[in-house]
Amino acid sequence: MTTDVKRGYDGSGRQARAQETRRAVLRAAHELFVARGYGRTTIADVARAADVSVETVYGAFRNKATLLHRVWDVTIGGDDADVVYHERPEIRAMRDEPDLARRLAMQARVFTGTARRVVPFLLALQGAAASEPTAAMLLEEIGGQRLRGIGVMAAEAAKTGQLAVSEDECRDVIWAFTDGMLWHRLVQQRGWTDEAFAVWLEQMWVAVLVRP
């Protein structure tokens, strides 16, 4: 006599396919927003580029504004992991470095790598902001997040006792250098390498911000 044993449903394969579909949509949306502009890109365009149905895109992201925000999250983080940017391993390691000069060197390299991902997207947002309220609102949100994040890092730098300037000045100097436009001008317009830019940025920050 045999006994039939019902196997439990394993949804891991389905979840993996759904996740890969979301990634394909996000990649397609990013490419189209940068190349064509947010305002000129439709959900149908994204669906076609990702080789999925329009209903799939709406089912995963609800609307174009939510899709735009999620594209930014992946762009700034470098992947779709649900981890706050300032708690990512490379950022955590930088924040935990006790020597301020080395910390700023790490920050210069992290920023340079991030700039290559985010600047094309930010330029596309700036181009859309005048006519697209969603793009303008996201730009404002990004600016606020950046200032708050740099403020946290400046406060942590002050706690080392190694700052040559005030905490506020540290925040403002780093803020001024990291909106992405300086990287864009020197690397993409003037032909600097990322390595040269990161080294120069490190030298500037250490010279201005760190006590001899």
210's CB contacts (< 8 A; 6+ apart) are 100, 101, 104, 162, 163, 164
Domain 12-82 has CATH 3.40.50.1980: no
CA 142, 144, 148, 153 dihedral sign is: positive
Would 12-82 and 83-212 be classified into the same CATH topology? Answer: yes
pLDDT confidence of residue 1: 44
One of 3.30.428, 1.10.357, 1.25.40, 2.60.120 is the CATH number of 83-212, namely: 1.10.357
Domain range summary for the chain, segments of one domain joined by +: 12-82, 83-212
pLDDT of residue 2: 47
Per-residue pLDDT of the chain (212 residues), as tens digits, is 444 545 554 567 788 888 999 999 999 999 999 999 999 999 999 999 999 999 999 999 999 999 999 999 999 888 776 667 777 888 889 999 999 999 999 999 999 999 999 999 999 999 999 999 999 999 999 999 999 999 999 999 999 999 999 999 999 999 999 999 999 999 999 999 999 999 999 999 999 999 99
